[in-house]
Structure 1
């Protein structure tokens, strides 16, 4: 059995260290993947910096990491649709004890079978590894019943049932926004989005019918005008960590859904406000929630493999490789802390 090395966090705000850990076992409905690439996310350094202050269930030492891609080396009982040697990308990241065999930052990682997608052999691991977090976050906000509750996306354009409804994706050039635009269109909805003007053409290539500058002083009026004569199916908002930007995004989304015909639901990838206007439903997105219902299996096992193969879903935004080996992950996290725009930082393993 090969050795398994992992990047361990042994305590709050401590440096990450590489140590040998146990080789994981493929239990029921799980696969073991030989890690070939990982992507870093804000949640990774939040976990490192704040530990149990923010995540009470966290147990040290722990293996962090969510986004992982590699090949299947073991298949557990009751697993369907995967075989040894398959190239996959999946969502890791359960942080409860036993050194976390599902943390992405190790040589061999366990994935739930409904949170992993087979990928075309021609696609490099480094160019696709950033998808699991962005796709699962967007899917949670768009398709889960407690959120926007949209109909599911279809990879085959001819199978899509057009709804005649329109959604707003605030932050369309972010990773989550890029995924939300493409899956919203694939689910049969028109998508209107916000982003910087330099990204208008980009988000429209992904499927948005219109894009507006979220820094504009007239953004609320612009959006209400764009939704004139349309039926709103809700809004999904991604606005980063800046408190001012988050408040502006939340306020604009609430104002839109409150004043146009249609559903009054807003899904947020940031903390919801303490008080809400009557009749408005808002909920914070937790991406791994989709593993506990049919959304996860549809997105990762059905929609994404076919959509990647036929080109109806493209990995976005740009992936940038910033290092190689487990030791390079901490440097990638430091780079992410300083601010990154319109790209995912990737480390080859």
Structure 2
């Protein structure tokens, strides 16, 4: 995930060293703790490793036997490969915190049978794993989704539910987005990229459409419009006791059932970039150089 190379480069979140990064895992359960009943030893699962959130390297994903909270583990069917499953955990959790926690956008929880609300959301960076997940969750919450992506990835972003996809590389992208949003009730913006190259146009858009909350996945590093109300969407906030309803609904109800039905697309497609723990850094370096519409996977 981009957050992993950004943590390496910018040294945020990690409080003690040495530390083990890694958030997305899929594989067989090696053992379960006392009281765990929804998964069993030997079962196929995917899970979110919350090491950065609890400041404990035992919960980092870049190791052979990571420890996970049972509440952040989801059984997967035999029809779903581990590579496909490993695309989703961090993206699902990050998007859920941004969309549903009351301190963020506070949207209605997603439904397997959503009803249109007549409201819209802008998801910047819809071809990323977090972006494509945020689009699907937003649609499941009854929202119309406007998104951005390179032209190469427009079909992917539309396939996960965006009604309008705009080219973020266009010199007129700000006005293009403003035009599409005209006449729509905007509930907020989710910047799934959260780099200066995405925050600047979002800030300019808000200068024209007014103040709104903007979900970010890393802290802002540039000066923003006064209309840009940043909310930092940290995946490990999912354990916030005041928001336990979101955790339970997403990980124990919506995610397993939507995967079982095949109604939730795990996007973007996984690309195997190595085998063994020694290849993880190589994958992060490739990710740092710029990747679009792909999710890097390393087999360990």
Q: Hey, what's the Cα distance between the residues in 2 that align with 1:235 and 1:172?
A: 12
Measure how far apart 1:82 and its partner are. Answer: 1.9
1:96 is displaced (CA, Å) by 8.2
Judged with a 3 Å threshold, the aligned counterparts in structure 2 of structure 1 residues 339 and 98 are, in CA distance, closer, same or farther, namely closer
* CA distance 1:341–1:139, change in 2 (3 Å): same
- Given the alignment of the two structures, is residue 105 of structure 1 paired with residue 62 of structure 2, yes or no? yes
**What residue number does 1:315 align with?**
266
Match of 1:334 in 2: 285
Does the 8 A contact of 1:175 with 1:316 survive in 2? yes
Write 1 or 2 for the structure with the bigger share of strand. Answer: 1
Q: Which residue of 1 aligns with 2:226?
A: 277
Residue 228 of structure 1 deviates from its aligned partner by: 2.8
Distance 1:137 1:45 in 2: 17
> What is the TM-score with the length of structure 1 in the denominator?
0.78
Aligned residues: 296
CA offset at residue 45 of structure 1? 2.7
Cα–Cα, structure 1 residues 300 and 46, in superposed 2: closer, same or farther, change >3 Å? same
CA 124–132 in structure 1, closer or farther in 2 if over 3 Å, else same = same
Q: How does 1:67-216 map to 2 (within 5 A)?
A: 67-95=24-52, 100-154=57-111, 156-157=112-113, 160-216=114-170
Tell whether the 8 Å contact from 2:53 to 2:237 is kept in structure 1 after alignment: no
Based on CA coordinates, which of the two structures has the bigger radius of gyration? 1
Matched-pair contact (CA < 8 Å) for 2:174–2:201: no
Residue in 2 that maps onto 1:237:
191
SS at match of 1:217: coil
CA distance in 1, matches of 2:193, 2:238: 21
Distance change >3 Å, CA 229–CA 96, structure 1 → 2: closer
Secondary structure (helix, strand or coil) at the match of 1:222 reads: helix
Relative to structure 1, the CA distance from residue 220 to residue 332 in structure 2 (aligned partners, 3 Å threshold; closer, same or farther) is: closer
Q: Which residue of 2 is the match for residue 303 of structure 1?
A: 254
In structure 2, list runs of 5 or more residues that go unmatched. Answer: none
SS class of match (1:109): coil
Displacement after TM superposition at 1:252 (Å) = 3.8
Output the aligned Cα RMSD.
2.3
Gaps of 5+ in 1: 1-40
* Residue aligning to 1:344: 295
Distance in 2 (CA, whole Å) between partners of 1:211 and 1:254 is 18
CA shift, 1:153, in A, is: 0.9
1:265–1:282 CA contact under 8 A, matched in 2: yes
The question of whether the paired residues in 1 share the 8 Å contact of 2:97 and 2:235 is answered with yes
- After superposition, the Cα gap between the structure-2 partners of 1:249 and 1:142, relative to the gap in structure 1 and judged at 3 Å, is farther
* Residues 288 and 270 of structure 1, relative CA distance in 2, 3 Å threshold: same
1:3 is matched with none
Counterpart Cα distance in 1 of 2:53 and 2:233: 20
- Structure 1, residues 178-214: CA drift from partner, whole Å, max 9, x if none? 1111111011111111111222222111111111122
Aligned 8 A contact 2:83 2:297 in 1: yes
**Structure-1 separation of matches of 2:205 and 2:237:** 23
C-alpha distance in 2, partners of 1:322/1:284? 30
How far 1:235 sits from its partner (Å)?
A: 0.9
Aligned partners of 1:195 and 1:213 also within 8 Å: yes
Q: Is the 8 A contact 2:122 2:145 kept in 1?
A: yes
Structure 1 residues 209, 49: closer, same or farther in 2, change over 3 A? closer
Asked whether the equivalents of residues 3 and 218 of structure 2 are also in contact (C-alpha less than 8 Å), the reply is no
